[in-house]
A and B are shown apart, each in its own frame.
Chain A
Amino acid sequence: MNIRFQFMKYRKIAGIASMIIFSISVLSLTFRGLSLGLDFSGGTLVEVTYETPVELESIRNTLIANGYEDSQVVNFGTNLDVLIKVADQNGNSSIGEAVYSLLNEKGFQGELKRVEFVGPQVGAELRDQGGFGMLIALFMILIYVAFRFQYKFALGAVTALAHDVVIILGLFSVFAWDFDLTVLAALLAVIGYSLNDTIVVSDRIRENFRTQREMQPKDMIDLSLNQTLGRTVVTSFTTLLVLFALFIFGGEMIKGFSLALILGVLVGTYSSIYVVANMLMSLTLTQEDLAIPEPEGAEFDELP
């Protein structure tokens, strides 16, 4: 068996790099926080489309002059689309319509594309639910992997997932990208995806540990990573292909979603190579850990 690339030679560097980025993410999340989208922050959002470009500054001034001091006005996608966010915390549900009719009155006649209002309690609930759901997902996956593999793999897998999730959250925090429900959905999909990779690699490590009895764990892991490298690269590549298609053609409303997934695929691929294997090395995975022959093997073999 030829080991083409000695992944584990660089495991320390990778480990340190991971830790640095992870720490930066945690720091940013602690001190800067996430720039929460409407779903989580609550408030009102109005999207209006105009036939000719309008000056954002004059819309802003009109709004301020009429008592909407705490409002943001930005272009959305093209310079014909204007997105207005009013961070009203009072839970007043008719601001959206009021803003739209005010603009129409003041000479900014455009077509109303959407109005979204999220009350303060609903925002807080969605926030809690989202965080809770994420933890539940990680926990259930931990249990499944521990049950199907062995607890060292499970620890590796969940560390990798936490690593991916925190780093993506960190990027959203550092660059102040809007974090809304669709991004949360993307993050959960990343958990699924990254795990896909992790399981493929772990599966091979487990198989090799059983068949190649005289190899060192380090070489064994390198061998496994090389064997699965082709598949990892191809799958990441096809997934990235579609995600870029989605990012470019999918429209403004799912930009954040596709961005989170693109980052997730990149970070997830990296973590399935370095984080999981690194953890297994650190936890000194031994032959004994995997000594019991897997009972499921026989029954699955005869299937297609």
Chain B
Amino acid sequence: MNKFSIYQYLLILFVLVLGFTYALPNLYPTQPSIQVAYTDSGKSADQMLLNELENILENNQVRYEELFLREGKIVIKFSTLDQQLESKTILQNKLLDKVIIALNLEPTTPDWLKNLGGKPVKLGLDLSGGVHFLLEVDIDTAQQGRLELLLDTYRKTFKEDKIQVTDSSIKDLALHFQFKDKESYNKALSKYRLDSPGINGLQYIITERPASNSLLLAYSDVALREIRDYAVGQNLTTLRNRVNELGVSEPIVQRQGSNRIVVQLPGVQDPTAAKKIIGKTANLEFRLEANSRTSPLRKEEFNFKENDFSTAFLEKAVVVSGDRVTNASTGFDESGFAQVNITLDMQGGRQMQKATSGNIGRKLAVLFVEQKSKSELVTGDDGKSIIEQTTYIEKNIISLATIQAVLGTSFRITGVGTPQEASELALLLRAGALAAPMKFVEERTVGPSLGKENIELGMKSIMMGLALVVLFMTFYYRVFGIAANISLLINLVLITGIMSLLGATLTLPGIAGIVLTVGMAVDANVLIFARIREELKEKDPQTAIRDGFSRAFITIFDANVTTLIAALILYIIGTGPVKGFAITLSIGIVTSMFTAIMCTRAMVNLVYGNKNIKELKI
């Protein structure tokens, strides 16, 4: 009488097959591989590069298993880690800056599984090792920059229109204009109103103060949001480029909240180097050296980067700035010193040509512009110490060389230090400038050995916990216990399958969540079995089984929904690893309900369903 219909069995079977299929990719080992991409991110790898790589590897007699083109990159698989490292060194030495080579561990999922969308579970940084950065975009500076530009524009306009301004400044993110008299004030106001629908579609808020003949101009909220989105978006793009250049196989660069950016670099072993590239807001300015005819107002004094004590005067006018650079690479000059080859865009080339044509024999300086930040402890109004992080711009001369000929779109800078420094400079030039400065607000680095250790410890905990629970259940509930144990194992497979299918990330707390699920998942079965025991006192075995299952269902449902609520809130407030815990816990709750109720019932039905049992041992 306790029988499932054929459809119920088919449903269970369907879920099981699905779960097992998608959990399967996790059983295949990973294989050492490298990914080769062109340094120029606009160019995807092609057959030519493939042939070149093939030739280099064959000439150096390096064994590899497979070499193929995939999504603009060339993937080469090896059978050992030694071969992987050896060929990376060989290829990098041969191809230098032309390509970026990333080490990777390629899953060996068979094709039929891949076609079904099967892939192994993604590991979080605490398990794979790597670096996690949280960067905050300094919106205030971006807004300040915009305002300065605007201030200049208006100063010019007012001057042209003969509107007399006695004072103009930026205060609290607004432009302040003080006019000489009512007439100037009125003229300026009409000018303002004319412009107010917006330059670049931005909206301003004008505060009129006719009594004092002054005007205030501030950005509206919409405009502020636009500036913020633009700055964050621009920085995201720049960061993506920089991260690409680092040669990390599966980086994550994402916006978080209104003005933060998350950067995750799995497998990166040297956080300092990564930070140097990501965090640097460097730019270049090309300026002519001031000569005797330059007026004192038009020149500025700068330090040399390598030598703090020597300085030089440069003209204030910038010939070309770093954002005109379209490509930069390293090479060596005739005497074997490192140099940086620079290519400018058309406009940059024209500007460079104009500036250098009349000035052969004068010196051209390359000014390195860096955004730096320092923090200070200051005492606030309420007497408490607060931290103030200020950013400032530092400009240093990295090279000052005589102009030998008229320069155009491509030229080179020599005397840039070691080859290492040269390639770093080239990289920063290629990656472009940031729209607004950023600072690191969070950093987590997990060494590769710790990652491995965490996986081992986590697996051990799951195994031990599982073994203890399985033993206890078998001992305590006999046949029913075995059914519950099988459900528990199915549950683990389903959790793995769903996590793989959803592309969810497994973290150390996530593993802890699975361990906890193992302990709590049997709860549903314990509830059912306890209920059956009770029902057995008054009813025959078959009725007791039926009523036990159905009566316990409501309780199980209520109890699980509340845990699910807690898990969902954890998912919302948690970050990184803790989110991983919330994910495994939530998935575990849902799958455990399915396995404890459906699967256990199916097994109990198969064993006892058709028999006329006199006595039930439970």
Could you list which residues of chain A lie within 8 angstroms of chain B, going by C-beta atoms? 47, 49, 89-94, 96-97, 111-122, 126, 129-130, 132-133, 136-137, 140-141, 144-145, 148, 181-182, 184-185, 188-189, 191-193, 195-196, 199-200, 203-204, 227-228, 230-231, 234-235, 237-243, 245-246, 248-251, 253-254, 257-258, 261, 296-297, 300-304
Which of B56-64, B244-252, B463-471 has 4 or more CB atoms under 8 Å from chain A? B463-471
Question: Quick check: A303 and B445 within 8 Å, CB to CB?
Answer: no
Shortest C-beta distance, B308 to chain A (Å), equals 21
Whether a CB of chain A sits under 8 angstroms from the CB of B27 is no
- How far apart are the CA atoms of A196 and B453 in the complex, in Å? 33
* Chain A residues within an 8 Å CB radius of B577: 181-182
Which of B155-163, B232-240, B400-408, B561-569 has 4 or more CB atoms under 8 Å from chain A? B561-569
* Nearest opposing residue in chain A for B576, CB measure: A181
A-facing residues in B570-607 (Cβ within 8 Å): 570, 572-575, 577-578, 581-582, 585, 597-598, 601
The residue that B512 contacts in the complex, of A116, A132, A246, with Cβ under 8 A, is A246
Given A91-B387, A237-B472, A245-B465, are A117 and B442 neighbors across the interface (CB < 8 Å)? yes
- How far apart are the CA atoms of A120 and B440 in the complex, in Å? 11
Question: Quick check: B573 and A114 within 8 Å, CB to CB?
Answer: no
- How far apart are the CA atoms of A40 and B441 in the complex, in Å? 13
Question: Quick check: B569 and A136 within 8 Å, CB to CB?
Answer: yes
* Nearest opposing residue in chain B for A296, CB measure: B554
Question: Quick check: A235 and B465 within 8 Å, CB to CB?
Answer: no
- How far apart are the CA atoms of A94 and B468 in the complex, in Å? 45
Question: Quick check: B575 and A181 within 8 Å, CB to CB?
Answer: yes
- How far apart are the CA atoms of A175 and B601 in the complex, in Å? 46
* Chain A residues within an 8 Å CB radius of B8: 304
The residue that A200 contacts in the complex, of B126, B443, B559, with Cβ under 8 A, is B559
Given A89-B377, A119-B440, A300-B553, are A97 and B469 neighbors across the interface (CB < 8 Å)? no
* Nearest opposing residue in chain A for B550, CB measure: A301
Whether a CB of chain A sits under 8 angstroms from the CB of B449 is yes
- How far apart are the CA atoms of A111 and B445 in the complex, in Å? 13
* Nearest opposing residue in chain A for B534, CB measure: A227
- How far apart are the CA atoms of A302 and B542 in the complex, in Å? 15
Question: Quick check: B520 and A126 within 8 Å, CB to CB?
Answer: no
Question: Quick check: A184 and B566 within 8 Å, CB to CB?
Answer: no
Instruction: Give the interface size bracket for B toward A.
Output: 35 or more
* Nearest opposing residue in chain B for A200, CB measure: B555
Given A113-B449, A242-B519, A249-B464, are A90 and B512 neighbors across the interface (CB < 8 Å)? no
Question: Quick check: A92 and B559 within 8 Å, CB to CB?
Answer: no
The residue that B387 contacts in the complex, of A90, A200, A242, A257, with Cβ under 8 A, is A90
Whether a CB of chain A sits under 8 angstroms from the CB of B527 is yes
As a 0/1 sequence over residues 522 to 559 of chain B, the CB contacts with chain A under 8 angstroms (1 = contact) are 11001100100110000000000000011001110111
* Chain A residues within an 8 Å CB radius of B457: 249-251
* Nearest opposing residue in chain A for B488, CB measure: A238
- How far apart are the CA atoms of A10 and B589 in the complex, in Å? 35
Question: Quick check: B550 and A238 within 8 Å, CB to CB?
Answer: no
Question: Quick check: B515 and A246 within 8 Å, CB to CB?
Answer: yes
* Chain B residues within an 8 Å CB radius of A239: 516, 519-520, 523
* Chain B residues within an 8 Å CB radius of A249: 457, 460-461, 464
Whether a CB of chain A sits under 8 angstroms from the CB of B498 is no
Q: Identify 19 new A-B residue pairs, CB closer than 8 A, beyond the known A91-B441, A257-B509.
A: A47-B450, A90-B376, A91-B375, A91-B389, A93-B439, A96-B443, A113-B446, A113-B450, A132-B573, A133-B569, A137-B565, A140-B565, A182-B577, A185-B570, A195-B566, A203-B558, A242-B468, A300-B550, A304-B597
Question: Quick check: B509 and A185 within 8 Å, CB to CB?
Answer: yes
Question: Quick check: A118 and B442 within 8 Å, CB to CB?
Answer: yes
Q: List the 10 closest A-B pairs by CB distance, nearest first.
A: A192-B563, A242-B465, A242-B519, A133-B573, A119-B441, A93-B440, A90-B375, A192-B566, A239-B519, A251-B457
- How far apart are the CA atoms of A112 and B585 in the complex, in Å? 31
* Chain B residues within an 8 Å CB radius of A245: 461, 464-465, 468, 515
Given A97-B272, A203-B554, A238-B519, are A114 and B530 neighbors across the interface (CB < 8 Å)? no
Query: Total A-B pairs in contact (CB under 8 Å)?
Result: 247
The residue that A193 contacts in the complex, of B443, B520, B565, with Cβ under 8 A, is B520
| Sample of 24 A–B contacts (CB below 8 Å) | A91-B375, A91-B439, A97-B271, A111-B447, A112-B447, A114-B444, A114-B446, A117-B442, A121-B136, A137-B566, A181-B578, A182-B577, A189-B566, A192-B562, A230-B533, A231-B527, A235-B527, A239-B516, A245-B464, A245-B465, A245-B515, A251-B457, A303-B553, A304-B550
* Nearest opposing residue in chain A for B517, CB measure: A242
* Chain B residues within an 8 Å CB radius of A303: 550, 553
Question: Quick check: A195 and B563 within 8 Å, CB to CB?
Answer: yes
Whether a CB of chain A sits under 8 angstroms from the CB of B68 is no
Question: Quick check: B465 and A241 within 8 Å, CB to CB?
Answer: yes
- How far apart are the CA atoms of A118 and B146 in the complex, in Å? 31
- How far apart are the CA atoms of A261 and B461 in the complex, in Å? 15
Question: Quick check: A195 and B575 within 8 Å, CB to CB?
Answer: no
Whether a CB of chain A sits under 8 angstroms from the CB of B458 is yes
Could you list which residues of chain B lie within 8 angstroms of chain A, going by C-beta atoms? 8, 126, 134, 136, 271-272, 275, 375-377, 387, 389, 439-447, 449-450, 453-454, 457-458, 460-461, 464-466, 468-469, 472-473, 476, 508-509, 511-513, 515-516, 518-520, 522-523, 526-527, 530, 533-534, 549-550, 553-555, 557-567, 569-570, 572-575, 577-578, 581-582, 585, 597-598, 601
* Chain A residues within an 8 Å CB radius of B136: 119, 121
* Nearest opposing residue in chain A for B464, CB measure: A245
What's the dominant secondary structure at chain B's contact region?
A: helix
Shortest C-beta distance, A154 to chain B (Å), equals 11
Question: Quick check: A199 and B558 within 8 Å, CB to CB?
Answer: yes
Question: Quick check: A250 and B458 within 8 Å, CB to CB?
Answer: yes
The residue that B444 contacts in the complex, of A115, A238, A243, A257, with Cβ under 8 A, is A115
- How far apart are the CA atoms of A200 and B461 in the complex, in Å? 28
Question: Quick check: B520 and A243 within 8 Å, CB to CB?
Answer: no
* Chain A residues within an 8 Å CB radius of B387: 89-91, 120
Given A117-B442, A182-B577, are A297 and B554 neighbors across the interface (CB < 8 Å)? yes
Shortest C-beta distance, B58 to chain A (Å), equals 37
Question: Quick check: A196 and B523 within 8 Å, CB to CB?
Answer: yes
* Residue of A185, A193, A228 with highest tally of chain B CB at under 10 A: A185
* Nearest opposing residue in chain B for A303, CB measure: B553
* Nearest opposing residue in chain A for B570, CB measure: A188
Question: Quick check: B554 and A304 within 8 Å, CB to CB?
Answer: no
Question: Quick check: A130 and B573 within 8 Å, CB to CB?
Answer: yes
* Residue of B465, B527, B549, B562 with highest tally of chain A CB at under 10 A: B562
The residue that A114 contacts in the complex, of B377, B450, B522, B572, with Cβ under 8 A, is B450
* Chain B residues within an 8 Å CB radius of A297: 554
* Residue of B375, B441, B468, B469 with highest tally of chain A CB at under 10 A: B441
Question: Quick check: B554 and A126 within 8 Å, CB to CB?
Answer: no
Question: Quick check: B460 and A96 within 8 Å, CB to CB?
Answer: no
Given A238-B469, A297-B554, are A129 and B447 neighbors across the interface (CB < 8 Å)? no
Given A235-B520, A238-B519, are A257 and B553 neighbors across the interface (CB < 8 Å)? no
- How far apart are the CA atoms of A130 and B578 in the complex, in Å? 11
Question: Quick check: B520 and A203 within 8 Å, CB to CB?
Answer: no
* Nearest opposing residue in chain A for B131, CB measure: A115
* Chain A residues within an 8 Å CB radius of B554: 203, 296-297, 300
Shortest C-beta distance, B303 to chain A (Å), equals 22
* Chain B residues within an 8 Å CB radius of A94: 275
* Chain B residues within an 8 Å CB radius of A248: 464
* Nearest opposing residue in chain B for A241, CB measure: B468
* Chain B residues within an 8 Å CB radius of A258: 512
* Residue of A199, A248, A297 with highest tally of chain B CB at under 10 A: A199
Question: Quick check: A116 and B519 within 8 Å, CB to CB?
Answer: no
* Chain B residues within an 8 Å CB radius of A182: 509, 512, 577-578, 581
Question: Quick check: A250 and B512 within 8 Å, CB to CB?
Answer: yes
Shortest C-beta distance, A259 to chain B (Å), equals 12
Question: Quick check: B440 and A117 within 8 Å, CB to CB?
Answer: yes
Question: Quick check: A257 and B512 within 8 Å, CB to CB?
Answer: yes
Given A91-B387, A115-B445, A249-B461, are A254 and B569 neighbors across the interface (CB < 8 Å)? no
The residue that B566 contacts in the complex, of A47, A92, A191, A250, with Cβ under 8 A, is A191
